[in-house]
Chain A
């Protein structure tokens, strides 16, 4: 079955710096890769997603890249702000089963 690995588990950056979180997946049948942000005590919410026919997608300060051959995808946050502090999850969805598997999460701390 699908397995999604996520690194690092914790990440501390200075305000204004960039942050990068990386994920790998195992099932080549996966074709949709969302990223979720979860603030303390709240539900996960989608921040950006990418489909398998696209290599990169940007939305203001966040971007996601996908390398289908290597089966890895990454989240890039530029000009980080204290409000970016949260836990971030990557995920992969299998096109044939609709199964949605998450990584183990990255706790991002942005220091002023």
Chain B
């Protein structure tokens, strides 16, 4: 099992460009999450999806959109990148929350917007 796989690992964008971060999990998990990590700010939730076909806003959703394409895949899109979106992005997944199980993280995507 690969676990949670994110692509790309590194990306440099110019201000105003768009891009999609991809995330896929092979653990048959229901819930998937996107976080951003900035120095001193911890892991802040951008969007999450508790099941296939549903998505909900997290703590910092502005400037982002998501798609839960199927049970395995959850993508994060930046429509018009801004320098404030320079960060490390992590995708995570877990079984249904009712079972209260561990969330597994991808290896992260380091995004720089210039």
A-to-B contact residues, CB < 8 Å: 1, 6, 9, 31-32, 34, 43-46, 49, 51, 89, 93-95, 97-105
Q: Using Cβ atoms and an 8 Å threshold, which residues of chain B touch A9?
A: 40
Q: Is the interface of A mostly helix, strand, loop or mixed?
A: strand
B-to-A contact residues, CB < 8 Å: 31, 33, 35, 40-45, 48, 50, 56, 58-59, 90, 92, 94, 96-98, 100, 102-103, 105-108
How far does the alpha carbon of A97 sit from the alpha carbon of B50 in the complex, in Å? 7
Q: How many A-B residue pairs have CB under 8 A?
A: 62
A-B CB proximity, top 6 nearest: A98-B97, A104-B42, A32-B100, A102-B43, A98-B50, A43-B105
A44 and B105 contacting across the interface, CB-CB below 8 Å = yes
How far does the alpha carbon of A104 sit from the alpha carbon of B44 in the complex, in Å? 8
Q: Using Cβ atoms and an 8 Å threshold, which residues of chain B touch A6?
A: 42
Q: Using Cβ atoms and an 8 Å threshold, which residues of chain B touch A31?
A: 100
Q: Using Cβ atoms and an 8 Å threshold, which residues of chain B touch A49?
A: 100, 102
B33 and A100 contacting across the interface, CB-CB below 8 Å = yes
Smallest CB separation, B109 vs chain A (Å)? 11
